[in-house]
Amino acid sequence: MTENTANTAQNPIDATTAGAGATAAGAGATATSTPVPTQAASTGDATAPSSTGETLIPGELVREVTEENFEAIMELSMQVPVVLDMWAPWCGPCRQLGPILEEAVAEAGGRIVLGKVNVDESPAIGQAFRVQGIPAVFLLLGGRPAPLFTGAVPATAVKQAFDVVLAEAQKQGITGRVSGQEADSAAGTAQTAGAAGAEAKPTELQQAQAKAAAGDFDAALADLEHYLKANPTEAPQVEPLISQVRLQARSAQQGAESVAGVEHGNAAALTDVPAQLAAADAQMNASDAAGALSRLLAVVSQTAGEDREAARERLVEYFQILGDDPIVAPMRQKLMTLLY
């Protein structure tokens, strides 16, 4: 998609360009200004305090977002986090990711709204966010946009990203909740699950994810590694978070160069391990897990010593990020065959 430079907006917004390919970039990401043509629109929502003091917002958890109602969606993000799903009907990965996002939003119990942006019907929004490929998922929080991830990532990665969103929203005092038949039903389910899962998401981990969301990757990694050292039995939960933050940090450092990373890796020899690792990161960010894993398996087969170990370690990181994705088991088996 090409950049829209026409400044015709009545209410311009800052669309994020940095880290659009990062798998779970935070709400504190740097933004550059690109206007979106919008017209003032009302969602028809009237807020009211609940008995617990939280702001209740009537309406649906999943909403269609267009150029005409975008301003109202921005206003909504002042009260509750809005996750934007940039998609199109012809996009196969979009159809895979959509139900995962909807399930995760339902599990959040009204604390996150999902906005569906059909980039074919609302191209100005996609242009303003400088979307280069879909699906692409962004966050609107407090009227500010930030990238979350691109590609059809697995449910585990979506839930991790949403944990970051909720932690950052809590930090900013944006704690409204959508209240409606659908949302209230989801909230009841989420509260039941949350009571059982509160211990599984300690405050220390939430704080580390909030630091990663703000772009302080070194501090987030230090906190996670310290927590893991003190709680080694929680490695299955903490190690994927560490791998995720490491990928975020590398992606933020590579910036726009990651877009050309795959082409550079394709042109380089398999023994050029830095080029292959960068290319694999770019593929992971583009939701091409199969391509990233296959690339690194090829590197393992053609290298030895420290080069081979670097590729193996990166593969293990990807396995942790992908979690229960069906691709992991056969790729692990291929790695074992190459190593032993």
Catalytic residues: 91, 94
Other CB atoms within 10 Å distance of the CB of residue 113: 28
Token reading at 84: 């934007």
Asked if residues 114 and 85 have their Cβ atoms less than 8 Å apart, the reply is yes
**Residue showing tokens 């900013």:** 172
**Residue showing tokens 């909807």:** 102
**Beta strands at 48-49 and 55-58: parallel, antiparallel or unpaired:** antiparallel
Residues with Cβ within 8 Å of 233's Cβ and at least 6 positions away in sequence, in order, are none
Q: How far apart are the first and last CA of the chain?
A: 46
3-state SS class at 177? strand
- Which amino acid makes up residue 227? Y
CA distances from 260 to 44, 84, 134, 278, 281 (A): 44, 25, 17, 10, 11
Encode 220-257: b = buried (16+ Cβ within 10 Å), e = exposed.
bbebbeebbeeeeeeeeebbbbbbbbbbbbbbbebeee
DSSP calls for 88-117: -TT-HHHHHHHHHHHHHHHHTTTSSEEEEE
